[in-house]
Structure 1
């Protein structure tokens, strides 16, 4: 069970770029969750997946505690969903379907991947923990950084053009 969770039902084994694939799969899942229950459902889902993912990741790396296996991509799902919180909140606040904020969805994806790959600041610190919590936290920090940037970009866009 932990392998299925950690690899997002095996998706982590299907690509030479499993993190990008996991992030790409996380976006429509987040949109679906938002459509069903709004921003708060996405928050609850993200928090639940963080703790479930942390357990699954810990179980999967127990025999190899200093590794961050590339097939483990549940952390990408959590980080990507965090990056999308601001888009979900904006859609709910404006009373529009989340897909109408498609530039924000794209920006959240691109910025999350950028921070996850380059590992600046706290992202790199968490990655260097070399344990299951670090595996999860580096993507949490990347997601938070992406969320802040998406919010700033959205604010700048609306301030300049609306």
Structure 2
């Protein structure tokens, strides 16, 4: 049995044995089951966050800030609960951290396909390679440790997209 298949069984077993708050945490942390996709769950979780990018652009800056102020602590909370229920430090099924990080990667960027694609690619690169200090942040215990490295990868990606868009703007004018 593959590593991912046994993780999925552990997820389903944990889901079946837990209470309502635990079930809610598992559903949210897996981003409504996207984290159960057996190949590249982090990348799939990031892709599943794309509709949020468009939604945040639609609701405007103020409500986007409020959304992130609520969403990020909720992501930490459900990640911590899911970590405990699944019995692993950073379960691959937990992809809400990728969603939160990707939202920061795209925060206040222009609503263009270029921004979206650059943000996606750079976020995944920083999330996978974990340049300093992202790798160290991952060592923090609990839900904070699961989420904070992705938030920093999002900040790095956001900064780099802004630099690239600025350079491209000045090169074309």
**Shorter-normalised TM-score: what interval?**
0.7 to 0.9
User: Pick from 105, 124, 128: which aligns with 1:117?
Assistant: 128
Q: Distance in 1 between matches of 2:48 and 2:25?
A: 19
Say how many residue pairs are matched.
150
Structure 1 residues 107-146: aligned runs within 5 Å: 107-146=118-157
Q: Distance in 2 between matches of 1:15 and 1:21?
A: 10
Q: Distance in 2 between matches of 1:66 and 1:125?
A: 18
Structure 1 residues 5-84: aligned runs within 5 Å: 5-35=28-58, 37-62=59-84, 67-84=89-106
RMSD (Å), alpha carbons = 1.6
C-alpha displacement at 1:128, in angstroms?
1.8
Who wins on radius of gyration, i.e. which is larger? 2
Unaligned runs of 5+ in 2: 1-23
TM-score (norm. length: structure 1): 0.86
TM-score (norm. length: structure 2): 0.81
Unaligned runs of 5+ in 1: 92-97
Counterpart for residue 114 of structure 2: 103
